[in-house]
Amino acid sequence: MARYAIGLDYGTNSVRAIIVDVRNGGEVATAVWGYSHGKEGVILSRDPNLARQHPADYLTGAEITIRQALANARRTLKGFRPADVIGIGVDTTGSTPLPVDREGIPLAFDKKFAHEPAAMAWLWKDHTGVHEAQEITALARKIRPQYLAKCGGTYSSEWFFSKILHCLRTSPKVFRAAYTWVEIADWIPAMLTGTQRPDRLSIGVCAAGHKAMFNARWGGYPDKAFLGRLDKAMGQLRDRLRPVARTVAQPAGRLTAEWAAKTGLPPGIPVAVGAFDAHLGGVGAGIAPGTLVKIIGTSTCDMMVAPAGKPLADIPGLCGIVPGSILPGFYGLEAGQSAVGDIFNWFVNYVQPHGKAGTHENLSAEAAKLSPGESGLLALDWNNGNRTILVDQRLTGLLIGQTLYTTPAEIYRALVEATAFGALTIINRFEEYGVKVRQVVNCGGIAEKNPLVMQVYADVTGRPMKISRSAQTCALGAAIAGAVVAGKKAGGYANFAAARKAMTALKKTVFTPNAKAHAVYKELYSLYRRLHDAFGLPDGTDRLHDVMKKLIDIRNKARK
Amino acid sequence: MARYAIGLDYGTNSVRAIIVDVRNGGEVATAVWGYSHGKEGVILSRDPNLARQHPADYLTGAEITIRQALANARRTLKGFRPADVIGIGVDTTGSTPLPVDREGIPLAFDKKFAHEPAAMAWLWKDHTGVHEAQEITALARKIRPQYLAKCGGTYSSEWFFSKILHCLRTSPKVFRAAYTWVEIADWIPAMLTGTQRPDRLSIGVCAAGHKAMFNARWGGYPDKAFLGRLDKAMGQLRDRLRPVARTVAQPAGRLTAEWAAKTGLPPGIPVAVGAFDAHLGGVGAGIAPGTLVKIIGTSTCDMMVAPAGKPLADIPGLCGIVPGSILPGFYGLEAGQSAVGDIFNWFVNYVQPHGKAGTHENLSAEAAKLSPGESGLLALDWNNGNRTILVDQRLTGLLIGQTLYTTPAEIYRALVEATAFGALTIINRFEEYGVKVRQVVNCGGIAEKNPLVMQVYADVTGRPMKISRSAQTCALGAAIAGAVVAGKKAGGYANFAAARKAMTALKKTVFTPNAKAHAVYKELYSLYRRLHDAFGLPDGTDRLHDVMKKLIDIRNKARK
C-alpha cells in the first residue's frame, strides 16, 4: 500500500513542498512559492551585509505549497489520498535566527516592529555581525578554545550568537523585546506542531551544534559566564535557551488540527525535528562514509559523515564537526563555499552582460566553447567571503588577467572555475585530515541544470562528478526524516540506513574528468592557491609578479 | 588678411582634417572619416595582441577629409578661399611601421599581400612582438645599455624594431619582400609630397627617437652590428634606413600637383615633417617647461619638455627622452598609459553591462553619484599592459573587492579611478627625477566630454585639471607645424614659441580637487601602489592579506 511523506524545503528565495512515495523515494508532486517580502524574498538595505526575511513568508509558504502539492498529487496520481501521508520533515537555511516573544511568536508579527529589519529573521547570508563574530572568536580563543575547535577555529558572522549580539548592540529595543531567539529550522516545525512556546520547543542538534557551539560535552550551549562576558544580557539569554538538542530521527511534535485544516493533511502525523537544508540534502543524496555530498545552490554545502565511534581530528577551517547533525550515530562534517550560484547570479543580474541576452544559458553555452586557460583569466570565488577553509567573511572577489578583448563568457567561465577551485580546496582539506573522499555526489539546481559547471568541476578536481537522482535532495531528505519519524509500523522506516537504501539513488549520467583539461587546471589551481594564500592568509607572503605572465603563457598554450 | 593651416590627425579609428585660422588658432572647419578596413579601422585576429591597419585608409582618409573640410569652411565662413591655406602638418599614431617596396609603396597595395596582416601597418597597440621586445631589451642591456637609457630601460613590443623582427620571424615572406619599413608618421607626409622613395624620404626625430632608439649621439639608428646580432637580415636592413632625422619645424616637402588636384588645395604648399599625435597634441595644448600635457584617448600620452641645454637624468620607466621630438631646442619627454579610454570602451563594448543602456553617459552619470571608496573596489589599469612606469606589456587587468551587489557603475568608476592612479604614478615619477609639474593640461575626447574622469583625476592627484581650449589639440598641433613650416613671410610663424602664444589657449573650466575626496584617494592609492608593486615588480614581495579588508573599511567609512 502506498504511503507518502512530505518534505518542506525553505530556501533563500522560496519554499518547496514535495510529496514522496515512501517505498522508492519517487517524487509524486511538488509545489513552490516565492516569498512575498523584499527582493526575491530577501529584505535588503544599502548595507551589503544585511539580508533578512519576514517570518510570515514561512507560514504562508507552508500553507500554500502543501495545499498545492496535495492538489497536484491528486490530479496526477490516481488513487492518491492525503490521508496516506504519514510524516513531515522540514529543512531550512541557517543559521537564520529569529527573535520571538514569550509565546514563541516572532516580534515581526507585532505592529510595533512590522518594519524593523532587526525584528525579522536574520538570513544565513546576513553578515552585519562581522565585528561581533570577531569579538566572540577572540573571547573564545582566550577562555574557551574548545568551543572553536568544533567549528573551524573561527566563529562566523553568519552564525546565531554573532547576529544576536549585533542586534543587542545596534537595535537594543528589539533585543530587549525578544524573550529568546529561535532558528527557523526549529521554529517552523514548532509552529506546525503547536510547540513553539520557548519552554516546550524542540531544537535540532544540526543548527545548535554547527552554528551555536552547542555540544553535550560542555553541557549544551556556551556557558552563561562566557556569554555574560560578551554582554550581561547575553548571559541572561542563556537561561532561556533550551538544554537539550535532538536529531532529525526524533519528532518535534504532531501536526495540529489547525494546520491539518489549513493544509488538508491528516492531523496528528509526526513532524521531524528540523535541520538545515544541506544536512537533509546530504541525507536525500544518500550520504554515507566516503561520500562527499555537494549541495550546490546560491552557496554550497559540502557534507560528509564519519562514524561517531572512531576518533576524528579537529579539521581547521571546517564549519562544524557535530555528532548526529546529519545522521544519528555519525559525526556530521560541514564545509562549504559562501557563494557559488550567487556569484553567477551576481554577474548575470547585477552586471547584466549583453543586457537581456546575457542569460545563464547563453553565457554557459558560450563559455563551454572555451578551453581551460584560454581566456587568461583567473578569479577568486570570494564575492561573499570564504567559509571553508579560510572562515573569513571580509574577503571579497578578485578577477585578474583582463585584456581589452575579454568577453562576458570568458568572465563567466572564470567565475565557474573559481568556484571549482574553491571546491577542490575543500576536498583537499578533508583528505589532509584523514577523511577520505571516495565519491562526490552533487545535487541542487546548478548540478542538475548546468553541465558546464559539472564538467569544469570534474576537470578541476580530477574526479568523476555524480548527480543525485532526485532534483530536490534537500526536500527529499526532509521527507525521509518524515518517513523515519513516522516509523516502520505506520509504513515508514525504522532508521535512516533502511530509508537511504529504499529512497535514494544516483543518476546514470556521470561527468568524468578530461585528462588534458585537468592538466591545465592543475597549473591554474597552483596560481589560484597563490592568490588564495596571498590575500587570504594573515602571514601569506609571495612574489606575485609572475602570476599575470603565467596566465598569459597558459592562455597562449591553450589557444594553440 | 586671413591665412589658414591644415592639421591632419590620424587616430586609431579615424582620421580628422581641421582648418585653422593661423592668426588665433581658431578652428574654421573640420571633417572626420572612419577607416573602412577591419573592426572600426583595426584589423584583428584571434590573437588579442594583433592590431593592424590598411594603409589605403590613410590616403583615402586624407583625400576625403581635406576635401570635406574645405567644403565645410566654404559653407560656413564667408570669403574663405582654399588658396589661403599656407601649410599642412600631419600627426599619426605610433609606433606604427609599415613595410614598403623600393619605391616606397606599401606591400599591402600588392595583390599578393592584399589579405596578409603582416603586410599592413602594425598599429601602435599591436603587441605581437612581445618576445622580440624582450630579446632586443636583453641584447641592448648586454652590449648597448646606452640605447635603453633614453627609452625607460626596456624596449617595448609596441615599437618599431620589435614589430619588424616579429615579422621576420613569423612572416618571412613579407619581411623579404619589404625593401624597408616606414613609420606612417613619415610615410603620409612623404606621399603628400611625392618624397616616399626610401632614398628621398624625410623621417621625423619624434618616431625615430622615441620608438627606434635613434640618437645623433650614436650616429642615428642602432648600429648594424647590434641589429645584426638580432638577425643578419636586420643588420642588412640598417643600410636602407635613413641617416638623419628632422624636427617638425622642417618641411618634408611640398604638396604635389596630384594631391592638390585631389583635395582642392594649392600645389606647392609645404607639408611639415610628421610626428606622433601626442607630441603635436602637446604643441596644440601649449606645451612649455613645467606644463604636463595629458592627451587622453584610447591610451594616454603624458608629455613634458625640458630645455635641451641643461643636464637631465635618465628617468627609469619613461618611454623616451629625445631632443627635438616635441619642440626644437627642448628634450621631449614622453610617458603614458597603454590604455585609458580603451579600458572604458572594453567595459561598455565587450562586457556590455545593462546591454544598450550601459552607455558611457549612463555609467558616468551613475558613477558620479558614488563617493570615493564606497564601492569597495580597486582596479589596476593594465588591460593593455603598463607603458609607464613598468614598461611591461605582459601585465593584465585586475579588479578586486567585488561583492554580490557590485554594480556596473561601481566597476566603471573603479576603472576610471585606476587610470587616475596610473596618471598619478607618472606625475610622481617625473617629479622624483627633478622635472617639476607646475600645471596639468588635459586634452582629447575624454577630457572634453567626461567631467567625471576629470574630477576623479583632480581628486586623485590633488591638482587642478585644466583643459586645452581646442577640442582637437593633436590636429591643432599639426596645423601649428604647418603654420611654422610655411614661415612668417607666407603669413605663418618664424618659430613655435610665437605660434604657441597666438594659436593656443586654455578653457576657463578648471576641475579643482576636493580635499575630502583627495584624502580617501590617498588611502586607496597606497593600496593601488601595493598591488602595482606586488604584481608589477619582479622583486615585489608584500603581505596582501589586509588589502581586501582595508577596502572594506574605506567603503564602510565612505558609506557612513
Q: Which helix (H) or strand (E) holds B262?
A: helix B257-263
Task: Verify that B262 and B391 share a domain, yes or no.
Answer: no
Count CB neighbours of A133 within 10 A: 24
End-to-end CA distance of chain B: 62
Task: Verify that A347 and A478 share a domain, yes or no.
Answer: no
> Looking up cell 517505498, which residue turns up?
A23
pLDDT at B357 over 90: no
Bridge partner residues of B246 (DSSP): B204
Residue B311 domain flag: no
**Angle at alpha carbon of residue B540, lines to B539 and B543, rounded to 5°:** 140
Q: Cα B418 vs. chain centroid, distance in angstroms?
A: 19
Distance from CA of B280 to the nearest CA of A (A): 26
Distance from CA of A218 to the nearest CA of B (A): 34
Give me B46's grid cell. 584571434
Q: Which of B478, B479, B431, B93 is nearest to B290 (CA)?
A: B431
pLDDT given at position B559: 67
Q: Taking CB atoms and an 8 Å cutoff, what residues of chain B touch A362?
A: none
Q: Which helix (H) or strand (E) holds A536?
A: helix A515-536
Residue A354 domain flag: yes
Task: Verify that A261 and A401 share a domain, yes or no.
Answer: no
Which residues make Cβ contacts (< 8 Å) with residue B30, sequence separation at least 6?
A: B16, B17, B18, B19, B69, B72, B472, B475
pLDDT given at position A152: 74
The CATH number that applies at residue B217 is: 3.30.420.40
Task: Verify that A78 and A222 share a domain, yes or no.
Answer: yes
Bridge partner residues of A251 (DSSP): A272
Task: Verify that A227 and A261 share a domain, yes or no.
Answer: yes
Domain count, chain B: 2
pLDDT given at position B47: 87
CB nearest to A406's CB, from B350, B405, B536: B350
pLDDT at B539 over 90: no
Between B539 and A61, residue with greater pLDDT = A61
Task: Verify that B28 and B161 share a domain, yes or no.
Answer: yes
pLDDT at B556 over 90: no
pLDDT given at position A330: 95
Residue B453 domain flag: no
pLDDT at B547 over 70: yes
CA pair distance B91, B16, nearest whole angstrom: 10
**Helix A515-536 with A408-432: angle, nearest 10 deg:** 80
Mutate: best of A350, A415, A555, partner B, most B CBs <10 A: A350
Spatial contact of A439 and A467, defined as CB atoms under 8 Å apart: no
CB nearest to A541's CB, from B352, B405, B543: B543
Mutate: best of A12, A298, A351, A394, partner B, most B CBs <10 A: A351
Q: Are strands B330-337 and B320-323 parallel, antiparallel or unpaired?
A: antiparallel
Residue B457 domain flag: no
- The phi, psi pair for B243, rounded to 5°, reads -85, -20
Q: What is the largest CA-CA distance in chain B?
A: 69
Q: Collect the ranges in chain A with pLDDT lower than 50.
A: none
Considering only alpha carbons, which residue of chain B is nearest residue A358?
Answer: B355
Between B262 and B308, residue with greater pLDDT = B262
Q: Are strands B52-53 and B121-122 parallel, antiparallel or unpaired?
A: antiparallel
The domain in which residue A555 lies consists of 341-429+514-559
Task: Verify that A27 and A139 share a domain, yes or no.
Answer: yes
CB nearest to B535's CB, from A541, A544, A559: A544
Mean pLDDT of chain B: 94
pLDDT in tens, B160-184: 999 999 999 999 999 999 999 999 9
A465 three-class SS: strand
pLDDT given at position A546: 67
pLDDT in tens, B199-252: 999 999 999 999 999 999 999 999 999 999 999 999 999 999 999 999 999 999
pLDDT at B80 over 90: yes
Supply the ipTM of this predicted assembly. Answer: 0.83
Q: Which of A509, A474, A125 is nearest to A326 (CA)?
A: A474
Give me B271's grid cell. 607639408
Residue A226 domain flag: yes
Distance from CA of A381 to the nearest CA of B (A): 10
Q: Are strands B330-337 and B300-307 parallel, antiparallel or unpaired?
A: antiparallel
Bridge partner residues of A215 (DSSP): A220
CB nearest to B406's CB, from A346, A354, A411: A346
- Judge: B355–A351 Cβ closer than 8 Å, yes or no: no
Q: Are strands A541-543 and B541-543 parallel, antiparallel or unpaired?
A: antiparallel
CA pair distance B32, B69, nearest whole angstrom: 9
Residue B188 domain flag: yes
CA pair distance A93, B548, nearest whole angstrom: 27
Task: Verify that B408 and B486 share a domain, yes or no.
Answer: no
pLDDT in tens, B302-349: 999 999 888 888 888 887 789 999 999 999 999 999 999 999 999 999
- Judge: B394–A552 Cβ closer than 8 Å, yes or no: yes
Distance from CA of A357 to the nearest CA of B (A): 8
Between B54 and B540, residue with greater pLDDT = B54
Residue B57 domain flag: yes
pLDDT in tens, B428-483: 999 999 999 999 999 988 998 999 999 999 999 999 999 999 989 999 999 999 99
- The phi, psi pair for A291, rounded to 5°, reads -100, 120
Task: Verify that B410 and B484 share a domain, yes or no.
Answer: no
pLDDT at B426 over 70: yes
Residue A54 domain flag: yes
Q: Which of A329, A337, A321 is nearest to A209 (CA)?
A: A321
pLDDT interval class at B549 (50, 70, 90): low
Distance from CA of B401 to the nearest CA of A (A): 5
Q: Which of B102, B266, B277 is nearest to B192 (CA)?
A: B266
Task: Verify that A478 and A388 share a domain, yes or no.
Answer: no
Mutate: best of B403, B419, B527, B552, partner A, most A CBs <10 A: B403
pLDDT in tens, B491-515: 999 999 999 999 999 999 999 999 9
Task: Verify that A169 and A36 share a domain, yes or no.
Answer: yes
Q: Taking CB atoms and an 8 Å cutoff, what residues of chain A touch B397?
A: 399-403, 406
pLDDT given at position A64: 98
- Judge: B342–A404 Cβ closer than 8 Å, yes or no: yes
Q: One-letter amino acid identity for B443?
A: C
pLDDT in tens, B270-292: 999 999 999 999 999 999 999 99
Task: Verify that A539 and A490 share a domain, yes or no.
Answer: no
Q: What's the DSSP call for residue A388?
A: S
Q: What's the DSSP call for residue A279?
A: H
